[in-house]
Amino acid sequence: MTTLVLLRHGATLLTPGRRISGSGGSNPGLSPAGRLQARATAEALARRGGIEAVVTSPMRRCRETAQAVAARLGLGLQVEQDLREADFGAWEGLTFAEVRERHPQDLDAWFASPDSPPTGTDETVRRVARRAAAVRDGLLARHAGGTVLVVSHVVPLRSLLRLALQAPPHSLFRMELAAASLSTVTYDGSGTATVQALNDTHHLDRPAQR
């Protein structure tokens, strides 16, 4: 079995207000709360053991989260551009309630079809899923039989989980992935996936070592 441990980055200052933060926005780093989450996650993954590589989105919040874990595990970082978050265009920095007020038709279309992009961009959910799957395939080839930590964002990680479940595109909006949550997918030799864990945040209840 090859295992991908999927880690959503820790919280930023935009996270508590549930403001949209994609690859076309301000590229925030971790907030103080997010840095605490990253340290707690690093300790949990050190206790778990067995991780042989840490792969991350290039975006600041992911790199800071991944660096905390990699430093604790004594590993380097591999940056994968295709793990970046979706580009949300004119929706960047808004809440979904605000998007509903300003761009209702575009939002309805985005929820209805993986081929409908947010306002002001051409990046669709299907495109994000395609690039996330390409990263997945590369990791399965390079780390066969191993365990890899993948640090990314809501849309790429939900896409990997959806693909693992062979679920329809609209199921993307039926998953919760909290900041610094862990999900786990295993793949057998033929590439058949099994979701072992989803949105696990138990490690955040345990204080990180200083």
Q: Which of 172, 123, 173 is nearest to 23 (CA)?
A: 123
Beta-bridge mates of residue 53:
148
Q: Which residue among 80, 85, 92, 123 is the active-site one?
A: 85
Greatest distance between any 2 Cα atoms in the chain: 48
Phi, psi of 97, deg, nearest 5: -65, -40
Q: Which residue among 9, 103, 153, 203 is the active-site one?
A: 9
Please say whether the beta carbons of 42 and 208 come within 8 A. yes
The Cα 161–Cα 165 span in angstroms is 6
Can 9 be counted among the known catalytic residues? yes
Can 202 be counted among the known catalytic residues? no
Annotated catalytic residues are 9, 85
